[in-house]
Amino acid sequence: MQPEAPAQPAFRDPDQPLDKRVDDLIARLTNEEKISQMLHACAPIPRLGIPAYDHWNEGLHGVGRNGCATVFPQVIGLAATWDAALVKRLATAISDEARAKHHAALRRQGETAQYQGLTFWSPNINIFRDPRWGRGQETWGEDPVLTGALASAFVAGMQGDDPHQLKTAACAKHFAVHSGPEKDRHSFDAVVSAHDLWDTYLPAFEQLVREAKVEIVMGAYNRTLGEPCCASRFLLIDILRERWGFSGHVVSDCWALSDIHNHHRVTSDPVETAALALKRGCDLSCGCTFDLLGEALSRGLIAEADLDRGLARHLRTRFRLGLFDPPDLGPWSTLPEKVVGCARHARLAYEAALRSCVLLKNRAGILPLRTDLRSVYITGPMASSFEALLGNYHGVPARGVTLLEGLVAALPEGVRVDYRPGCLAADAKRNELQWAEFEAARCDVTIACLGLTALLEGEEGDAISSGSRGDREDVLLPAVQLEFLKRLLDRGAKVVVVLTGGSAMSLGDLTERVEAILWAGYPGQEGGRAVADLLLGRASPSGRLPVTFYKRIRDLPPFEDYSMRGRTHRWFEGEPEFPFGFGLGYARVRYGAARIPARVNADSALRVSVEVTNEGTCAVEEVVQVYLADYRMPDGDMGPVPRETLVAWRRIRLAPGKSRRVVFTIPPSIRKLVTPEGARQRIPESFDVVIGAASPHPRAVELGAPEPVRGRVAIKPVGGFAKGRAVRGRA
């Protein structure tokens, strides 16, 4: 009689309930083994056949820091697409490559190292409140509604739709109120009002937790309202766990726990920090401190139950990813390695780059460039810059098309094309001679590729050319670039500016002198091809700004002030250079009569519509936007009132001469404003509904946006109205 095979442990049995598997594994571990799993780089446990696993991976706009990968436009550019369906497709491509690379590493090494796992610390959903923040390029812009919608689509594409296994685990970061300055991020206390916290800083996090079911939340380096974010009872327990019902795990930002004793000075030593963070809801540490949890146990600062609770939370994520299952189990294990950097993903990167570029100015229709051009001069430090494609947190594409390469390849033979960089990105030239400005003046058109790279803006240790640890000091372009541009214009060159960079930027007084401006963000590996096709009219620009472009930095409050007053399209009272939501195309689009009810019950959805017509000769993609503005509040309501609120949008395609009626349903919840105490329950008496191609600032129409339509809506707080007539509004 053959002896029976030993029973498979419950944690190895995919048919067992998840909680039983987690509990079984924890019960088999010694305290030393448990602590070995509490930092991002989890040690192997050979006696149980568990390989090493590293939680740290990056995937903001493509699998990062792990060799070849498709590099899509940086996130701020993806936000400029205003296209949630595209974002989900793109995130699906990223997670395809992530799975293929992960399983290739497992087959080759038997374990995975840093940047080879399936836990991705993306997306960054901090609100881009101030253009000086160098990491704003990683975000989805300045608006909490746009951020929540696009980031939710990203999470859906990353985590997949299989009911039994996560494709990858996405992470909402940095929780919370984390948006610069970089040089102070390890020590500052973000003091915000309850209104701003719940009106601006937390809504996207709440949406990702409650609706998108994001698996991971990362705590920020800073303090918020006095508590270190990675050890904040208010953020991690009261809000995240108890109010929002978060069931995933919390990870610290990297080496953030050391800030608690070294800079925030909340604890006296690293052991106290480890105990405080664990008990306050941080389940996994990146980089440090949780290796001292054994001493915290021996000193009685934590109980074993505290250790088990944190361990169980991130072990659940590993189980949900299939990391304790047979390697061929689940729908993702057979993705071939050839999916990495494949032609289909390159086409998607090109599509995203096309939709992300924003045409800000086009005097006298100089764009698209006319077909009878005889000569084109290409210049500027970003023309041949590979860095200008990438932004930060990127992989390495199998190919990358610079702006220069894209333009040279697209311009037909017979057109004379010349190129010189003309100036450096930020440093003054040392040679007093300069030929580029003379050559440019002799050509029909000069394409000046200016702007920034992630060497000049980004995270504190990456932006090695920044004197402010990655932040910017001004919205103006670097002085050497502005001086070069001025010399080109003074010589009589007809200049089209292509701007790279991840934030609002200004040409100052030179804005009025250039012929056209195309903001390309960091357009990814296919950026050169996309920009060339847009300039030559093979496609019509359709990106819309996800941030306000300010004229002067002095128009903004101090960078260190976390109040939202005077910031973003919702609270800025000045005149922007280019408003939020703005962007031009190559065809005239008209917004016709709107159907906007004159009144609606407070608890009823508001249905509005507008007819949009393409009056041009080329197809366009129009981003139809809906805002609430000019709120009238009940007597006695003294709470803050935003200038406007984005509530809905839709990207549509229109052939030449075609019209389409676009319908929106605005739920009652989004019409409510936040009280000074932080509750979203203030009901306006009335407001304007504004439907157009940009935020409802008069500046947008001055710059060439179509005239929006507008209608006034009254709200009855209790009960209902009789059915009212619709009004047909126009600004």
Residues 6+ apart with CB under 8 A from 712: 596, 598, 686, 687, 688, 689, 727, 729
Query: Nearest-CA neighbor of 403 among 295, 281, 500?
Result: 500
What is each CA distance from 298 to 271, 289, 293, 301, 438, in whole angstroms? 11, 15, 9, 8, 75
Helix axes 203-210 and 144-159, enclosed angle (nearest 10)? 30
Which value, to the nearest 10 degrees, does the dihedral of the CA atoms of residues 698, 681, 714, 719 take?
170
CA distance 192 to 179: 13
> Does residue 253 have an active-site annotation?
yes
b/e 400-430 (16+ beta carbons within 10 angstroms → b):
bbbbbbbbbebbeeeeebebbbbbebbeeee
CB 524 within 8 A of CB 500: no
End-to-end CA distance of the chain: give it in Å, rounded: 89
The 8-class DSSP code of residue 299 comes to T
- Among candidate residues 623, 664, 660, the one with its CA nearest the CA of residue 647: 664
Which residue in 282, 60, 67, 57 sits closest to 150, CA to CA? 60
Residue 194: in which H helix or E strand, if any?
A: helix 194-196
The span from the CA of 86 to the CA of 92, in Å, is: 10
At position 379, the amino acid (one-letter code) is T
Strand order in the sheet with 227-228: 189-190, 223-224, 227-228
CA atoms within 13 A on the CB side of 198: 15
Helix (H, G, I), strand (E, B) or coil at 171: strand
Catalytic residue (choose from 253, 283, 533, 688): 253
Q: How far is residue 34's CA from residue 330's CA, in Å, rounded to a whole number?
A: 27
**What is the C-alpha to C-alpha distance for residues 214 and 247, in angstroms, rounded to an integer?**
9
Copy the structure tokens of residue 299: 């000193």
Tell me 293's DSSP state. Answer: H
* Neighbour count for residue 601 (Cβ, 10 Å): 15
With beta carbons less than 8 A apart as the criterion, state whether 522 and 74 touch: yes
Does residue 309 sit in helix, strand or coil?
helix
| Nearest residue to 576 (alpha-carbon basis) of 411, 705, 700, 717 | 700
Give the type of residue at 352: A
Return the DSSP state at 136: G
Q: What is the DSSP string of 538-595?
A: SS------SS-B-S-GGGS--TT----TT-HHHH--S--SB-TT--B-SS-EEEEEEE
Q: Please list the active-site residues.
A: 253
